[in-house]
A and B are shown apart, each in its own frame.
Chain A
Amino acid sequence: SQQGEEDPQALSIQEGENATMNCSYKTSINNLQWYRQNSGRGLVHLILIRSNEREKHSGRLRVTLDTSKKSSSLLITASRAADTASYFCATRQTTDSWGKLQFGAGTQVVVTP
């Protein structure tokens, strides 16, 4: 079973627009991470936000975390065609001592020039 659920499942935008995707999860977490995957290849780590953090920035990425609602959002500003990929959230539960990640089903983002 998957811990997280991303919304929307798919997103199509034009270059320069912002892309926002959301992730909801079910249990208490230690941290939440966002990954990008191009065309069924390996996962690239984007950003990690800990349970005691509310917002984090990295370049054009902004991540928020609301532990009371068990949800997170990833914002990509000024999108580029190279941002076309699938984006996954992954959680590390507080009950897990060894670092197992639980992924959602992902959001497919298409950025058209």
Chain B
Amino acid sequence: DAGVTQSPTHLIKTRGQQVTLRCSPKSGHDTVSWYQQALGQGPQFIFQYYEEEERQRGNFPDRFSGHQFPNYSSELNVNALLLGDSALYLCASSFQTGEGGYTFGSGTRLTVV
């Protein structure tokens, strides 16, 4: 039973560029949440997708956007990258509202130079 798969594992981008991160949820899960984890900090909620719509959003600027596809996989897009966007981006999947628990992927390490 595959868990949550994230790609790529590592990424280096230049300030001002755009980046797309991808996530495939655990089999049977239909909800995908994205978190940003800066070095030495806990994860911060970015947004959550369910039924191909953004259902909830954290305190992140519009430069952060996402998408969910009919197969429940999801993408996180960040435009106009800033140095401060350097972080580990984690994807978590769950079934609907997550009462049954969450499964996290291994993350994508984004470095902005």
Contacts and interface: CB of A to CB of B under 8 A. Distances in A.
Interface of A: 1-2, 4, 33, 35, 40-45, 48, 88, 90, 92, 96-106
Q: Would you call the interface of chain A mostly helix, strand, loop, or mixed?
A: loop
Most chain B CB neighbours (cut-off 10 Å) among A4, A48, A101, A104 = A101
Contacts of B102: 33, 45, 99, 101
Contacts of A90: 42-43
Contacts, number: 72
Interface residues of B, number: 32
B22 to A, nearest CB: 15
Contacts of A92: 98
B55 A88 contact: no
The 6 nearest A-B residue pairs measured at CB: A99-B98, A103-B42, A42-B106, A43-B104, A99-B97, A42-B104
B43 A40 contact: no
Interface of B: 4, 31, 33, 35, 39-45, 48, 50, 55-56, 58-59, 88, 90, 92, 94, 97-99, 101-107, 109
A43 B37 CA distance: 11
